[in-house]
Structures are given as structure tokens and as C-alpha cells.
Amino acid sequence: MTTSFEKTPGWLDWYAGPSRPRFQMPEGAVDAHCHVFGPKDAFPFAPERKYTPCDASKDQLFELRDHLGFTRNVVVQATCHGADNSAMADALRSSGGLARGVATLRPDVSDAELRELHEAGVRGVRFNFVKRLVDAAPRQDLRDIAERIAPYGWHVVVYFEAADLVGLRDFLLSIPVPLVIDHMGRPDVTKDPYGPEFGAFLDFVRARPDIWCKVTCPERLSVSGPPALDGEQSAYRDVVPFARRVVEEFPDRVLWGTDWPHPNLATHMPDDGLLVDFIPGIAPTPELRQRLLVDNPMRLYWPEAG
Ligand SMILES: O=C(O)c1cc(C(=O)O)oc(=O)c1
């Protein structure tokens, strides 16, 4: 049987030939949020997926890592692969210990599978509440999964829209393992970074000392840009005050990642070199950057190295 994996109409492929960042990354930096897609011939996309992307292989990811000046990757299971973690786990196994991962699990996952994923380098499971990406999972299933992963020392990565936090807050706070919030909880950056909406998000992060936040995806959150293209050295200015607020209040609980290959962007595909040049704007001192890019992700994903 041949399966057609025609790309979703309007799909933007990742940016080929990115520039070299001007920003000099600290030694041992971790790209703590990126994905692999396929390649589809080796790792077919899941039947339940909501989009069909281009290929974005582990080799292309590792090439980007080296080009940008990162040392390590955290590969987050992309929703186009559903709960089939094989492409992500294969990337971890091929990385020589330089990649760790975040899986998607069904509640019927076996202990043997969990052990195998742990050995491959998985250290977290992703709960996705973004309706355009996944069908809703019953909360009891998520709670069961959280209990199953707790003995492995894993955490839960959560992706939600800002408007859904109010309904999710109590449930999330009841999860018995550390939480990592994707993309700052997707704030509406046309609003005030000191206003009540983002204030509610910060309050949530304050509610437990083991809630972490990825200050990622300015290319997704930005409304007025300018995009990281054509040499732009000050991209996504509207996102900066939000990310900077989080970095300054929670310097020991923030992570940064490229989000390569940037699924579902509609208006443009960033030059990843220029995207890296966004970092000093949100983490203005060498100390903050050392924590954001090295110390924090190492503590969460490679604790044995400390
Ligand atoms: O906003 C998105 O479309 C998106 C999708 C995925 C995924 O499909 O896994 O991951 C992300 O981090 C962001």
C-alpha cells in the first residue's frame, strides 16, 4: 500500500541556508525545543495527524545544531507523529548522547516501552491541549500517564492557548511531576505584558517552584514582527517584553529552543541564525544567558552531568 503524504496546502518548509548567528552562544548550549519530521519514507506520519509537513530529518537537525553553535538538542515529539515516538527516539539514539527527548504516550503504554524510551533518552511526556493540533485527551488518562512516568524522574511538557489556562490551572497544578510550559503559554502580545492576562500566566508559574517555562517561539507569537529575515538584527520586538519578564523573574526555570522546523507557520519561515540573535534581547546579561541556555536545560535533561 502506498500512502500519500502530500504536504498541507500552504505549508512552509524550514529555511535552507540560515545565517550564522552574530550572538556568541555560551559553551555547551542546549536547543531545548525542536522536532524531527519523518523522513516520511522511514517514519510515516500518524493517521490521526492534523497536518502533513515536509521532511525534517535528524541529520538536518544535527547539522543546524552545529551551524548555530548549540551542543545539544531536546527533541520534542511533534503531533504529526501522534504517539509513535520512533522518529524522535531514533534521533536520540543517533546523537551520541547529545539529544534527549519528550514523548507522547497513550495510557496503555507498556512498562517495557517506557523503559526503552528512557534508555533512548526520553525525559518527559507532552500533554497537548491546542485544539488545532490534537483531539482532547481525557484528563484521567493524562493523570494516569503522569503517575506512570513519575518513577522515571520525567516531567510533563504542556502546550496550551492562553485563553485555556483558566480552565486547566487546577488540573495542571495537581500533576505530581514538574511541569514545563511551551512557548510562554502563548500570550497575546498585542496586550500589555504587565496586564491581567499575562499576570495570570505568571501567577501560575509562581504557584509551584517546579514549573518551568520555555521562552520560545517569538516567530509564532509575534504580530508586528519584524520577522527574522534579511539580516534583521532585532526581530519580533513585540515579544521581547513578555519573554524578558519571564527570564528576569524565573532565571532558574527558563529554557530556550529554536522550535525548528517550525510547524504550521503561516506568514514566513524564520532564518534560524537570526532567530538565535533574538536571545540577547530577552536575556540581557551573560549570567542570564548561561542559565537559560546551559545550566537550566542541563539540570532538567542531563542531571547526571552536573
Ligand atoms: O503551534 C504549533 O503548530 C506547534 C505544533 C507542534 C507540533 O505539532 O508538535 O509543536 C509546537 O511546538 C508548536
DSSP 157: E
**Element containing residue 34 per DSSP (H, E):** strand 30-34
Confidence of residue 3 (pLDDT cuts 50, 70, 90): low
Per-residue pLDDT tens for 232-241?
Answer: 999 999 999 9
Per-residue pLDDT tens for 244-280?
Answer: 999 999 999 999 999 999 999 999 999 999 999 999 9
Pairwise pLDDT comparison (306 vs 29), residue with the higher score: 29
Treating both helix axes as pointing N-terminal to C-terminal, what angle do 86-93 and 111-120 enclose, rounded to 10 degrees? 40
CB 28 within 8 A of CB 68: no
Cα separation, 151 vs 134, whole angstroms: 27
CB 9 within 8 A of CB 278: no
Cβ contacts of 37 within 8 Å, gap of 6 or more: 45, 53, 54, 55, 56, 57, 78, 80, 81, 87, 261, 263
Query: Hey, what's the cell of 18?
Result: 540560515
- Tally DSSP H helices, then E strands, for the chain: 12, 8
Question: From the CB of residue 232, how many other CB atoms can be counted at a distance below 10 Å?
Answer: 18
- Percent with pLDDT over 70 in the chain: 99
Tell me the CB-side half-sphere exposure of residue 178, using CA atoms within 13 A: 17
Q: Is the pLDDT of residue 121 over 50?
A: yes
The response to whether residue 157 sits with its C-beta less than 6 Å from ligand 1 reads no
Residues 219-238, mean pLDDT to the nearest whole number: 97
Q: Which residues are catalytic?
A: 259
Residue located nearest, by CA, to atom 9 of ligand 1: 78
Confidence of residue 306 (pLDDT cuts 50, 70, 90): confident
Confidence at residue 4, expressed as pLDDT on a 0 to 100 scale: 75
Cα separation, 120 vs 97, whole angstroms: 9
Confidence at residue 170, expressed as pLDDT on a 0 to 100 scale: 98
Confidence of residue 1 (pLDDT cuts 50, 70, 90): very low
Q: What amino acid occupies position 111?
A: D
The response to whether residue 258 sits with its C-beta less than 6 Å from ligand 1 reads no
Treating both helix axes as pointing N-terminal to C-terminal, what angle do 165-173 and 196-206 enclose, rounded to 10 degrees? 10
The response to whether residue 229 sits with its C-beta less than 6 Å from ligand 1 reads no
What is the best residue among 12, 35, 80 to mutate for testing ligand 1's pocket, by most ligand atoms within 8 Å of CB?
35
φ and ψ of 269, to 5 deg: -115, 120
Interface predicted TM-score of the whole assembly (ipTM), two decimals: 0.99
What is the best residue among 11, 74, 133 to mutate for testing ligand 1's pocket, by most ligand atoms within 8 Å of CB?
133
Residue located nearest, by CA, to atom 8 of ligand 1: 79
What is the best residue among 36, 79, 130 to mutate for testing ligand 1's pocket, by most ligand atoms within 8 Å of CB?
79
Residue located nearest, by CA, to atom 13 of ligand 1: 263
Cis bond before residue 39 (omega within 30° of 0): yes
Domain 30-305 architecture: Alpha-Beta Barrel (3.20)
Separation of CA 87 from chain center? 16
Residues 32-36, mean pLDDT to the nearest whole number: 98
The response to whether residue 103 sits with its C-beta less than 6 Å from ligand 1 reads no
Ranges assigned E (strand) in 129-167: 155-159
Cα separation, 260 vs 176, whole angstroms: 30
Q: Is the pLDDT of residue 2 over 50?
A: no
Residue located nearest, by CA, to atom 5 of ligand 1: 263
Residues 107-125, mean pLDDT to the nearest whole number: 97
Cα separation, 85 vs 240, whole angstroms: 33
Confidence of residue 111 (pLDDT cuts 50, 70, 90): very high
* Closest to 258 measured CA to CA, from 238, 278, 288, 243: 278
Q: Name the pairing type of β-strands 254-255 and 122-128.
A: unpaired
Cα separation, 20 vs 141, whole angstroms: 43
Residues 74-99, mean pLDDT to the nearest whole number: 98
Q: What amino acid occupies position 186?
A: R
Residues 57-86, mean pLDDT to the nearest whole number: 98
Classify 204 in phi/psi space as left (phi over 0), alpha (psi -120 to 50) or beta: alpha
Domain locations along the chain: 30-305
The response to whether residue 19 sits with its C-beta less than 6 Å from ligand 1 reads no
The response to whether residue 53 sits with its C-beta less than 6 Å from ligand 1 reads no
Q: Compute the distance from residue 279 Cα to the ligand 1 centre, in Å.
A: 20
Distances (CA, A) of 208 to 170, 172, 183, 205: 12, 11, 18, 7
Q: Is the pLDDT of residue 20 over 80?
A: yes
The response to whether residue 133 sits with its C-beta less than 6 Å from ligand 1 reads yes
Residue located nearest, by CA, to atom 12 of ligand 1: 259
Q: Is the pLDDT of residue 139 over 50?
A: yes
